[in-house]
Structure 1
């Protein structure tokens, strides 16, 4: 402890730490001399030229809407050929039927790997899907699934 009652190892108080030093700076500021200044020319005034604005009428192009006709494949009312109006050629005809291996036939195919007698069901048309085609334009009209 010193004569003021402070510990010598204690940090300075806030007031002591924020006090500015009262001594003059070591290096005096460098004197700046102003050599003969060059006279600046007076600012020149320019008259603004009027700007010509040309407005052209805009042309809006209208884009025609394209119409897309989507034909859905219908569900056939039966597995047998039937009277139908074709949505493609608009003819009234009796459909042409073709049997295609569908999900039921695939199921029996996998079962026939385990149980060989099930292979008989793959060959039967009663376990296949019926695809109905137009007899006039030969396009697919309807499908009947098993």
Structure 2
């Protein structure tokens, strides 16, 4: 997951460089910006959080499987077998939980993801008109609309 996540980030950077090969200032000189954009920062944060979540939730299962293979020759009581079966099932639940927490991870990690999610809810579920958008520096910004009956 780490390798493919980093390859995805690298591909996005290469695509961005290919699309915007030589940005220029008003005077015609090329500008070089070493600063990461807000989207890139949020993408990196989402990727890091997803990898950390993946490691934390997937690590117990291999640990249990190693324990199980080391103790396979031991004679175990029915209570111990039941306890180990329960632990085995719980480690698999953690793996499945990781997949279901992807949305929550992205929702918490990224302002733009939250903004787009609420925009989809407004337009598709509530059938409201989309919020007006403005473009500032190549980034589309949706204005937050206030309800007329707020005040």
* Bucket of the pairwise TM-score, normalised by the shorter protein: under 0.3
Q: TM-score, normalised by structure 1?
A: 0.21
Q: Which has the higher helix share?
A: 2
In terms of fraction of residues, the more strand-rich structure is 1
